[in-house]
Structure 1
Amino acid sequence: MDIHSTSQTDQLEESFDIVARQDKADEAIATLRSDVDEVKARIDKIGRAAARPAIGSTDAAPEIKGFVDGYLRRGRESEIKSVSGAVPADGGYAVPQQVDQRIASELAEISPIRALAQVVQTGSSGYRKLMATGGTASGWVSETAARPETDTPQFTEIAPPTGELYANPAASQAMLDDADFDIEGWLASEIAMEFARAEGSAFVNGSGVNQPAGFLTAPTSTAEDAVRVFGSIQYIGSGDATGFDAAPDARLVDLIHTMKSGHRQGASFVMNSATLAEVRKLKTADGAFLWQPGLVEGQPDRLLGYPVVEAEDMPDITGGAFPIAFGNFRHGYLIAESGATQILRDPYTNKPFVHFYATKRVGGQVLDSNAIKLLKIEA
C-alpha cells in the first residue's frame, strides 16, 4: 500500500471518529434536555398543586375537613377546636383562613366600592390613622445656609365607625348530607352576596351609627382643596335643576379637573345603572358620544377616558342629588375590617333547614376628601 492510500485511510478513520463523537455529544445533549424537561414538568406540577385551593379537595388539611365535614355538615363542634379558640357564646367559630379568603375574594368581585377602596385588616380595638392636614413645609436652601423653621404640623385622627355585618344563609339538611354538595363554595358565595348588599349601601350612604360612614354623607362644599375644611368633599353643579345642561361634556371635564393630577391616576366614575343609561346618551357639540365601551372583554366601559363603575346605591338624577362621583377611592375611602368571619350553625330555628349565622365587624370612612369629587344636580 502506498503512502497516499494510507493517508486517505487515516483521514477516513479520523472522520468516522469525529462523527461518532458528534453522535455521542448529540445523544448526551438530547438526554440532558429530556432530563431538564422532566424536572421542569415536575416543578410545574408541584406549583399547580401548591396553587390549587385546599378546600373541597379530598386531601384537604385536617382543620378544613373538620370544619367543613365535621361542623358545617354535622354540627360536631369538637372537630374544630384546633381551628379557633372562639366559642358559640362569643358569636360562633372563626372560619379557617382558606375559607375566609374565599369569602373575601368573592366579596371583592361583587362589592363595587370595596373593589375600589383601600381595605385594611384591624384588631379588636379598631383602626386609627393620623392624617396630616397642614404644617411641615418644605423648601430650598444652599448647602451651608441656615434652615428656617417649618410650620407647626397639624393632624387629624381618622377612626372609621364600625358595625357588625351579618348574613344568615340556610340549606336543608338533605343538601348538607349530600357528599357531592360543595358546601364551602355555596356558603362563601351566599355570605359574600349578602355582605355585598349591605356593604354597597353603607359605603355610599351609611350613617356612621353602628355602620360605616358613606362618602355621600360626608360634608360637601364648592370650595377648592386649598381652602376647604378637611373632611368635606368638593362638588360642582350640573347646570340644570333637574338634570344636565346643554353642555354636559364641559361639566364632566370640570369635575375631572377639580381633582389634582396625583389622584386622577387611578380614578373612576361611580354611578348607578339609571344614571349610566342617561350618561350613555350624552354627546359633545359635534355629535360624538362621551361614553366609550370597553374594547377588550373584561375591560371597563369608559367616560372621557376614565373607567365607569356601577354602584346601584348611588342616587338617581333628581334635583339636589349627587348621582355621579369621580374619585380615586383607594386614596379617598378607607374600609377597616377586624378579624375573621364568625359562623354559628343553627339547626333548630327553622327545621328542617340549617342556618349559618355569619358575622364580621366592618367600618368605613372618607380618608382623603381631596380624592373624591361629586356632581350635584342643580342650576
Structure 2
Amino acid sequence: MTMEYKTENLDASFDIVARQDAADEAIVGLRTDVDEVRARLEKVSRAASRPVIDGGQPDRTAEVKGFVDGYLRSGRDAELKSISGAVARDGGYAVPREVDAMIARTLVEISPIRSIAQVVQTGTSGYRKLVTSGGTASGWVSETAARPETATPAFHEIAPPTGELFANPAASQAMLDDAGFDLESWLAAEIASEFARAEGEAFVHGSGVDQPAGFLTATLSALGDGVRAFGSLQYVGSGDGIGFDAEPEARLIDLVHTLKASHRQGASWVMNSATMASVRKLKTTDGAFLWQPGMVEGQPDRLLGYPIVEAEDMPDIAAGECPIAFGNFRAGYLIAERSATAILRDPFTHKPFVHFYATKRIGGQVLDSDAIKLLRIEA
C-alpha cells in the first residue's frame, strides 16, 4: 500500500509539473503575441504622427529631390526616371505634385479671379458641362385630378475655350549650382507670377481664341433674369455718361438686388484700384461713406456688406465701360485646367542661362450668367 501510495503521489506530481510547464508555455506565447501587437500599434502610431504628404499617398520626397536636384539643376533625366518612372512629354516632364501644389497655392494667392471662381481639374484638354435654364415646371392638382405633363428644362452645354499657357523663366547655371539657392520655391514663384498675370487678364478680357473667354466679353443686356438670352450678362447703368450720378448708392443697391438671393450668399465686388479709389470717396446723402474698411488684419474691405476683390485687369471708369462687377463667381465663372504642369529644361538657347519652359492648359467661360452683374457707365 505504501509503495502504491507513493507511486500515485509521484504520478500526480509529474502531472502537476507538466500542467505548470504547459501553462508557462501558454503565458510565454501570450506575452509574445502581446509584444507583437504592441509593436504593430507603435508602428501605426508613428506612421499616423507623420505629416501627410500628397493626400495620404506614399512619401514622394525622393522624387521631388530627384526632380529638383537631378533634372532642374543638372539636367540628369535618367536619375528622375529611375526614381519616379516619369516619361518625357514633348521633351519635358510633369512637375511632381508637391511643386505643382506650391504653384497652385501661389496662383490662388495672386490671381484674383481664380481665388473666387469655380476651378475644376481635368485629365484632357476638353471639358464639357451641362447646365439648365428655367428649371422644371410644376403645378397644383387635387387628390384625384389628372397629372398633366409639365415643361422640361432647357439644357445648355458649356465648353470653356482653352489655350496653352506658358512661362519661360531663366537662371544662370552658377545660380543653379549654388546649394543655398532654393530652386523649388524660386521656380514655383516665377511660374506662378507669369501664369497669374496672363490668366488674370484672360479671365476678364479673354477672346476665347486659344485662351479662356473673359466674362466681360460676354454679350451684355439690360434685361433681367429669365428674359434675356442664355449666356448674356445683365448690366445696370450708372446714371451718368462719364461716371457716377448724384446718388451712387442707389445704383449700387440696384446692382446688388438684381442678383438672386441664392447667389448673394458668397457674392463679392470686383474692380481695379483706380475704381476702388473713386468708390472709397462715395458718400450717401447723409454724408456716410459707402466703403467699410476691414476691422481685422486680413479681413477684406466691404461695400454694402460684401467683400471687394481687387483685379487690375478690370477697366477704369469711362463712358461705355463696365468697371464694376458684382456676383457669385463661384457659381458664375468656370475655370477648367489640366492639373499637371510640364517643364522643359533648356540650357542651349541662351547660354549661359538655363530656361525652364513651363506649360499648362487652362480654359474659362461664364457658367451661370445669372450669377454675375455689371455696372456700366452710361446715362
Task: Work out whether 1:233 is the aligned partner of 2:228.
Answer: no
Q: Deviations over 1:310-355 (max 9, x none)?
A: 0000000000000000010000000000130000001111222111
1:220-241 CA distance string (max 9 Å, x none): 0000002011100000100000
> Where do residues 314-333 of structure 1 align in structure 2 (5 Å cutoff)?
314-333=314-333
* Alignment partner, residue 191 of structure 2: 191
> C-alpha distance in 1, partners of 2:125/2:294?
43
Greater alpha carbon shift after TM alignment, 164-173 vs 132-141: 132-141
Letter of the structure 2 residue corresponding to residue 107 of structure 1: L
2:289 alignment partner AA: F
Query: Deviations 1:275-311 (Å, cap 9, x if unpaired)?
Result: 0000000000000000011001111000110000000
AA aligned to 1:224 is: G
Q: For residues 249-285 of structure 1, what are the alpha-carbon distances to aligned partners after superposition, in whole Å with 9 as ceiling and x for unaligned?
A: 0000000000000000000000000000000000000
- Percent identity of paired positions between Structure 1 and Structure 2: 73
Q: Which residue of 1 aligns with 2:105?
A: 105
Count of equivalent residues: 334
Aligned counterpart, 2:68:
68
Q: Using the alignment, how far apart are the partners of 1:290 and 1:240 within structure 2?
A: 19
Aligned AA for 2:233? I
Cα 1:156–1:336 shift into 2, 3 Å? same
Counterpart code for 2:296:
V
User: For residues 91 and 288 of structure 2, what CA distance do their matches in structure 1 show?
Assistant: 56
Q: Quick check: 2:132–2:153 contact (8 Å CA) kept in 1?
A: yes
1:170 — aligned with what? 170
Which AA in structure 1 matches 2:218? A
Residue 358 (structure 1) aligns with: 358
Contact 2:53 2:60 (C-alpha < 8 Å) held by counterparts: no
Tell me the equivalent position of 1:4.
none
Shift of 1:136: 2.6
Q: Which amino acid is 2:341 matched to?
A: T
Query: In structure 1, how many angstroms separate the alpha carbons of the residues matched to 2:48 and 2:190?
Result: 30
1:84, 1:108 → 2: CA distance?
30
Cα distance, 1:87 vs structure 2: 1.8
Partner of 1:26: none
Q: What does residue 127 of structure 1 align with? A: 127
> 3-state SS of the aligned residue for 2:175?
helix
1:163-204 superposed Cα distances (whole Å, 9 cap, x missing partner): 000011111111111112111111111111100000110000
Contact 1:124 1:339 in 2 (8 A): no
How many angstroms apart in 1 are the aligned matches of 2:50 and 2:182? Answer: 20
1:135–1:150 Cα contact (<8 Å) kept: no
* Counterpart AA for 2:291: W
Find the aligned partners of 2:350 and 2:74 in 1 and give their Cα distance: 16
| 1:11 aligned residue | none
Structure 2 counterpart of 1:17: none
Structure 1 distance, partners of 2:193, 2:202, is 15
1:275 pairs with 2:278: no
Q: The residue matched to 1:156 in structure 2 has which SS? A: strand
What's the CA shift string for 1:339-379, capped at 9, x where partnerless? 30000001111222111000000000000000000000000
The amino acid that maps onto 1:349 is: T
Give me the whole-angstrom Cα distance separating, in 2, the residues matched to 1:273 and 1:47.
47
- Three-state SS of the structure 1 residue aligned to 2:187 is helix
1:266 corresponds to 2:266: yes
Counterpart for residue 180 of structure 2: 180
> What is the match of residue 285 of structure 1?
285
Cα distance, 1:214–1:188 mapped onto 2, change above 3 Å: same
The more displaced of 170-179 and 255-264 is 170-179
- Secondary structure of 1:340's partner? coil
- Does the residue aligned with 1:70 lie in a helix, a strand or coil? helix
Cα deviation, 1:110-159, whole Å, max 9, x if unaligned, reads: 00000000000112241101111236313444566543212133211000
Determine the structure 2 residue equivalent to 1:117.
117
Aligned twin of 2:20? none
Gaps of 5+ in 2: 1-40
Who is 2:37 aligned against? none
Shift in alpha-carbon separation, 1:152–1:181, aligned structure 2, 3 A: same
Shift in CA distance, 201/355, structure 1 to aligned 2, threshold 3 Å: same
Distance in structure 2 (CA, Å) of the matches to 1:359 and 1:84:
21
TM-score for both structures, normalised by structure 1: 0.84
Distance 2:91 2:373 in 1: 39
Query: SS at the partner of 1:289?
Result: coil
Spell out structure 1 runs of 4+ moving beyond 6 A. 45-48
**Between 294-303 and 173-182, the greater mean CA deviation after superposition:** 173-182
CA shift, 1:79, in A, is 1.8
> Which residue of the partner structure matches residue 213 of structure 2?
213
Do the aligned residues in 2 keep the contact of 1:83 with 1:95 (CA within 8 Å)? no
Query: Separation in 2 of the partners of 1:194 and 1:66?
Result: 25
Amino acid at match of 1:291: W
For 1:23, the equivalent position in structure 2 comes to none
Corresponding residue of 2:15: none
* Counterpart residue number, 2:11: none
d(CA) in 2 for partners of 1:292 and 1:113? Answer: 22
User: 1 CA distance for matches of 2:63 and 2:86?
Assistant: 13
